[in-house]
Structures are given as structure tokens and as C-alpha cells.
Structure 1
């Protein structure tokens, strides 16, 4: 697990983003078991309550499923996984577009650069 928290946003949100990213890139597959709250807290060196908050949020978002007395698993709902992928794409694009606008790069130039580099 290669999770490195930053000081720019709450850690529980960073945990959620990390899990989403791991799902989208295929490191976590539908139905995979994820570490318990306590194990995750130890691995990433954060307070267990922070991990609990992240897991609760992910349960509410239907990203993970937790059945009593069992470890949490990644959703098997393909619609949810597709939705997560689109969310991450849109977040990244919004940041990119904001940055390009802030330095006055024209859309045509951006498209040309992307076409050349991608």
C-alpha cells in the first residue's frame, strides 16, 4: 500500500480517493477484501477513527460493502465502478482546465499538445 497523506485536505478524503484510484487502475477488483479499519490505520499510520470515517463514507457511497463480523469488500456493482472512474476523470480534468486557463492557454493549443503527447 503506497498511501502518503498530504496536509491539503482531510486524511479520510484522501483514503477514499486512494481506494477509488486503486479500483480504477485495477489494483483492487470487485469483491476484493480490503484491510480492516485497524489494519489500515496501522499501515498508513493514521488514527483508527479517521479510517473508520473513510470506510463509513465509502459504505454510504456503495464503494465498499461491510457485512457484520467480516472484512469490507469492494463493490461488485459495475455501475458504481464506472461512476467512480468518471468522477476521477472529471476531477482531474477540472483541475487541469483551471490550471490551463490560469496561464491563458487556448483550447486549441491544449488539444494539440494532448494529441501530440498522448
Structure 2
């Protein structure tokens, strides 16, 4: 796993975003098992309690499913996966738009730049 934490936000939220990105990219597919909490903590070098908090949040969000005595898996609910993608798009777009507004870039110029760059 190629997870690198930053100091700007809680690590458990970064783990959630990272996992959401892996799902949207198709690296983690519906029904795929996710690493155990201990495995994840060792792989990304964080406290197991932090991973536990992230997994609990992801369970509450429907991203992962955990059945007693079985390994957690990525949801097979396509609506949830679609929502994850839409949420990531809107989060990234919101940050981008705020950054453009802060340097007073006009909407038409942003659209042109995106068309030229994409």
C-alpha cells in the first residue's frame, strides 16, 4: 500500500479517503477482502486504534462490510460505490474552485484551462 499521511487532517480520515480512492480506481473491487486492522496498521505504520476508527467509520458509511469472524470486504452495493466516486469528485472540485477563487481566476478562464489541459 502506498499510503503517506500528512499533518493537515486526522490520519483516520486520510485512511478513509485512501480506501475510497482505491475503490473508485478499481484497485479494490466490490466484494474484495480488505486487510485486517492489524495488517493495515503495520503496512501503513500507524496505531491499530487509528485503523480501527477508520474501519468503523467506513462500516458506518457502507464502504466496507464486516460479518463476525470473517474478514471485512468492500461493499458490493453499486449505488454506494457510485456515491463514493461522486463525493470524491465534488470534494476535489470544491478545493480546486476555492483555490481558483482565492487567486481571482475567472470561471471562463478556468474552463478554458481545463479544456486545454485535460
1:12-31, CA deviations, whole angstroms, 9 ceiling, x for partnerless residues? 00000000000001110000
2:77 paired residue number? 77
Provide runs of 4+ in structure 1 moved above 2 Å.
none
Q: Distance in 2 between matches of 1:58 and 1:5?
A: 18
1:25 paired residue number? 25
1:3 paired residue number? 3
Calculate the aligned-residue CA RMSD, in Å.
0.5
Q: Distance in 2 between matches of 1:117 and 1:43?
A: 35
Count how many residue pairs are aligned between Structure 1 and Structure 2.
118
Q: Secondary structure at the match of 1:51?
A: helix
Offset at residue 41 of structure 1 (A): 0.4
Q: Which runs of 5+ in 1 are unaligned?
A: none
1:1-57, CA deviations, whole angstroms, 9 ceiling, x for partnerless residues? 000111110000000000000000111000000100000000011110000000000
1:40-77, CA deviations, whole angstroms, 9 ceiling, x for partnerless residues? 00001111000000000000000000011111000000
2:45 paired residue number? 45
Q: Which runs of 5+ in 2 are unaligned?
A: none
